Structure 1
Amino acid sequence: MKKTCAKYASKFIKDGMVVGLGGGSTIQYLIDYVKDKDIQVVTPSVKTALKAQKEGLTVLNTQYVDHVDIAFDGCDEVDFNLNALKSGGGIHTQEKIIASMANEYIVLIDENKFHETLAFKTPVVVEVLPKAYGIVKKKLQLLNGNVVERVSDNKDGIMISDEGNLLLDVYFTDVNDISKLNQTLLMMPGVVDTSLFVDMITGIIMVNAKGAFKKEGKGEFYAL
């Protein structure tokens, strides 16, 4: 299904575009479908950058880009109002930078990742300045968040982002107002950003056993 999703996404990429590409296996398939097009790529993912370069695509340094024609990424959960959670990669801050540049920012999913409203089965990843660790953790717990320091078998201590900040996995239950939670988290001094995407995604491409479907803004899904 991921390959099918990538195939349909590739139809929206045209010669001459600057294209944002996230991480994950669906994006790897997407590169295979667009490698012969005349495009330039920006990405927060080292894996994606290496794959794109290997296939002959030009990869731009995000630092020197201020506009992206269209961007694609995956996610763990997305809802009808285009709120999304991305938990796995820990590169959400860079993903949001690219999303903010893009005319269109589209998530690629299979059907089981779509919810009428976010289920919060996966954690909100909070990127925190090291010196703010103690106070941010306390504030997250006061919001009834279950805070788990992200660790790896291949690294001692808490995992850090590409920018050298700490990554905290925060599990929330019974979230009644997603926008309010998002604003509360972003307003905490020391929080760099979170993996909760609100008012950033413009569309969804979803695949299931019946085919591929696209949703734009607040509209319903339509067949591709």
Structure 2
Amino acid sequence: MTPQDLMKQEVGKAAAARVQSNSIVGLGTGSTTAFAIEFIGKRLAAGEITNVKGIPTSFQATVLAKQHGIPLTTLDEADRIDIAIDGADEVDPHKNLIKGGGAAHTQEKVVDALANQFIVVVDNTKLVDKLGSTFLVPVEVIPMAVTPVMRAIEKLGGKPQLRMGVKKAGPVVTDQGNLVVDVKFDSIDNPAELEKTLNNIPGVLENGLFVGVADLILVGEVQGDKVIIKEM
């Protein structure tokens, strides 16, 4: 296991340790959250916690939860989400995020925003002084509107590109059947304003700016031969 994988594992385990019995848990998407889902399943199997149900944010999270024996529920059935655990592609000093590297940010934002506590699990490479420094802003767009949405984004000063599939001919398609436009902005000075502006473009379903949603950031860092977990 690489040092980065070890970091992801330990951060996932630290987040899973915060899940209590009789709770509804939002299950995020991505490689770090996958470790959290695994450890929640192990805690359930060992009887450390009981009566825990998950609400997945993607097909990937659904498959992992089933693999690890976590019972699932839906937003229709649950009256609350006690805790949500999810990763991020960037985290700024104000705990604002860019998410959507896995093209699941629309469902993630719904679940994470509803949670009483939203815990973000990352390694220290995801910390940035300013959002947009290392990662593009993903925007989920309904297929018929891709061209006008990209034109509107260009007028805002963004450089949009349609996300193409890996080992698949053609674009990435989200769990909702939409497309993803990744946008480079030279400087994101007001993430909250940009989040609203992008979402107001007709044809945009949701974007990957998560402003004022995260409650706690757990950051993994390798120091020597040990992994240190820091809180933000």
Per the TM superposition, whether the score is higher than 0.5 is yes
Q: Which residue of 1 aligns with 2:10?
A: 4
For residues 161 and 129 of structure 2, the distance between their equivalents in structure 1, rounded to whole angstroms, comes to 27
Structure 1 residue corresponding to 2:188, chosen from 162, 175, 200: 175
Q: Would you say 1:213 and 2:219 are equivalent positions? A: no
User: Which amino acid is the alignment partner of residue 213 of structure 1?
Assistant: K
- 1:9 is displaced (CA, Å) by 1.1
* SS at structure 2 position matched to 1:93: helix
Q: Would you say 1:189 and 2:202 are equivalent positions? A: yes
Gaps of 5+ in 1: 216-224
User: Which amino acid is the alignment partner of residue 110 of structure 1?
Assistant: D
Q: Is the 8 A contact 1:87 1:122 kept in 2?
A: no
* SS at structure 1 position matched to 2:84: strand
Superposition map of 1:25-64 within 5 A: 25-35=31-41, 36=44, 37-38=49-50, 39-64=52-77
How does the TM-score come out when normalised to structure 2?
Answer: 0.86
For residues 100 and 106 of structure 2, the distance between their equivalents in structure 1, rounded to whole angstroms, comes to 12
Deviations for 1:41-85, whole angstroms, at most 9, x for unmatched residues?
Answer: 111122222222222210113443342100011111011111101
- 1:114 is displaced (CA, Å) by 1.1
Identity of aligned residues (%): 33
Q: Which residue of 1 aligns with 2:125?
A: 112
* SS at structure 2 position matched to 1:151: coil
Going from structure 1 to structure 2, the CA distance change for 1:174 and 1:107 (only over 3 Å counts) comes to: same
Superposition map of 1:150-165 within 5 A: 150-165=163-178
User: Which amino acid is the alignment partner of residue 74 of structure 1?
Assistant: G
Q: Which residue of 1 aligns with 2:29?
A: 23
- 1:188 is displaced (CA, Å) by 1.1
For residues 61 and 102 of structure 2, the distance between their equivalents in structure 1, rounded to whole angstroms, comes to 12
How does the TM-score come out when normalised to structure 1?
Answer: 0.89
For residues 170 and 34 of structure 2, the distance between their equivalents in structure 1, rounded to whole angstroms, comes to 30
